[in-house]
Structure 1
Amino acid sequence: MTTDTHQDSGDNQDRIEREISIAAPVERVWAVLTEPEHVGSWFGQGEPTPVDLRPGGIMHLDHGEYGQFPTVIVKVDPPHHFSYRWASAHPGDVATERNSTLVEFTLTPEGNGTRLRVVETGFAALTIPEERRRTASYESHSEGWSGQVKNIQQYAERLAA
């Protein structure tokens, strides 16, 4: 059974939350979120994504026409919690607490599968250049994560087949 729920914050537009059930074990979903060949497939352009999987390490997200994003890994707690900072309004800039949002993945065993929760916070504190609003705003990420959790689900379930 596939369920996809989302809950966004009220008027302040600071928090995006998505949850989805994935018919794959937690360890496989963890690999999809953190291993170079998998990240490049569901998020990037199909090429392996450089990932230095440790707090303070850099994961280079290739968002195609939208730019290259050196995200900074915040937390690595295999296979249950992974988070990074993403400066989506500033392609090419390393993410800092001042220019980025925090993306957090929580993986919970659910029968033989995984419940994946993605939360992105910090939009209210950002100054987004006008020319980047279409791809870096709360609204664009809210829509984007709805699609990306389905990409993660489909990719992880295909690996299981």
Structure 2
Amino acid sequence: MAHESAATTDEAAMRVTRTIEVRAPIDVVWETLTDPRELAEWFGQRAEFPGGMREGAEGSFGWEAHGDFPAVVERWEPPHAFAFRWGAPGQPIREDNSTLAAFSLQRDGDLTRLTVVETGFEHLGDEAAGRAALEDNRQGWTEELDDFVALLARRWTPSIVDPAAGTITRTLDIAAPKQRVWRHLTDPASIETWWGHPAVFPGGMREGVTGTFEHEGQRWPVAIRILREAETFAFRWGAFGEAEPGPEACDVRFDLETTEHGGTRVTVVESGWMRVPAAERDERMQGNGGGWEIVLDGLRRHVLAVAA
């Protein structure tokens, strides 16, 4: 089933459905779908689950114009299935005042398919009330999932390879404070975990120091150029076996900025590719473009997996 432009209703079954497809990894889609900080950006203005998100968790979703709707998580199977029941503002959840919104996620090539099915409208008073709520929520899922798609487009983007300028750029949002992201971005032990390269910097990481990254027993030099606390991390890296980055070395720069809801936007730019011979430049740039997608996704997963 392809991406649907709007939610639809099935009046016989009294349900609302919509399927969307996005070009983002399934774990990123899951995070955006279920993390209360993310939910508050596309599904109302507030999402509060004091005990955390899990099966049985109780909380609420809030809209400035409509109030706070109580909710309880009824299914929690990361990253494929999520469902919550939500009721009426100011009332405990009952069968006659609540509906069930169930989400399923599937990976299909480089796309993630997300389907929402909301049921239970036949229990909301008489038939007219149920059909009115059915239509209201059809409009709601059309608007809210459009906002979800737009948020994902900001949260996860592919690398941009510009052969004319000799640059590769990648931006990624991480739902964690900037200081925490910085700590794992620049700590050698963390780098080995999320990037997969043992990072050795005798005497510690600081501006002007040259250390090494290692892959399958081979090392290459990494000369730190900028280490500005919680703002910018930049280095020049060379080829296997060099003591210092040579004439074909590229420059890498990470910049961090705080997003609207207290997360962190990480932008990496790898430049200097015009120093690389033209015969091999395009293939190597494309390879590194895919590499930066893997690397920053690894950083995001690592930061979110640790407690602090």
User: Which bin holds the TM-score, normalised by the shorter protein?
Assistant: 0.7 to 0.9
**1:19 aligned partner:** 19
Please name the residue that 1:71 is paired with. Answer: 71
How many Å apart are 1:159 and its aligned residue? 0.2
Give the letter aligned to residue 70 of structure 1.
P
Q: Aligned runs of 1:11-160 on 2, under 5 Å?
A: 12=12, 14-45=14-45, 49-51=47-49, 52-87=52-87, 90-127=88-125, 137-160=133-156
Give the whole-Å Cα distance in 2 for the aligned partners of 1:157 and 1:24. 8
TM-score when scaled to structure 1?
A: 0.83
Q: 1:7 to 1:140 in 2, by over 3 A?
A: closer
Equivalent-residue separation in structure 1 for 2:22 and 2:93 (angstroms): 29
Q: How has the CA–CA distance of structure 1 residues 7 and 137 changed in structure 2, closer, same or farther, with 3 Å as cutoff?
A: closer
Instruction: Describe the shift of the 1:116–1:66 C-alpha distance in structure 2 as closer, same or farther (beyond 3 A).
Output: same
Distance 1:120 1:15 in 2: 5
24-33 or 119-128, larger mean C-alpha shift: 119-128
Greater Rg by CA = 2
Query: Runs ≥4 in structure 1, deviation > 3 angstroms?
Result: none
Does structure 2 conserve the Cα–Cα contact (< 8 Å) formed by 1:13 and 1:123?
Answer: no
Measured after TM superposition, the shift of residue 99 of structure 1 is: 1.9
What is the identity, as a one-letter code, of the residue corresponding to 1:117?
T
Kindly, what percent of the aligned residue pairs are identical? Answer: 34
Greater relative CO, 1 or 2 (CA 8 Å, sep 6+)? 1
Q: Contact 2:95–2:123 at 8 Å: present in 1 too? A: no
Structure 1 unaligned residues grouped into runs of 5+: none
What's the CA shift for 1:59?
A: 3.1
Task: Give the secondary-structure state (helix, strand or coil) at the position aligned to 2:31.
Answer: helix
* Structure 1: distance between partners of 2:16 and 2:4: 14
User: Match of 1:92, SS?
Assistant: coil
8 A contact 1:13–1:138 mirrored in 2: no
Output the CA distance in 2 between the equivalents of 1:99 and 1:30: 27
Contact 1:69-1:94 within 8 A present in 2 as well? no
Counterpart-to-counterpart distance in 2, 1:155 and 1:39 = 10
What residue in structure 1 maps to residue 181 of structure 2?
none
Q: Which runs of 5+ in 2 are unaligned?
A: 158-308
RMSD: 2.1
The alpha carbon displacement at 1:62 in A equals: 0.9
Q: In the TM superposition, what whole-angstrom CA distance separates every residue of 1:100-151 from its partner, at most 9, and x where no partner exists? A: 00000111112222101000000011127x9xx6xx7111101111111211
Question: Which moves more between the two structures, 116-125 or 52-61?
Answer: 52-61
- How high is the TM-score relative to the length of structure 2? 0.45
1:37-65 Cα shifts (integer Å, max 9, x gaps): 100111122x5x22231222113201221
Structure 1 position 96, deviation (Å): 3.1
Conserved in 1, the CA contact under 8 Å of 2:10 and 2:16?
A: yes
Does the 8 A contact of 1:71 with 1:94 survive in 2?
A: no
Residues in 2 aligned to 1:72 and 1:93: alpha-carbon distance in whole angstroms: 13
Q: Give the drift of 1:13.
A: 6.1
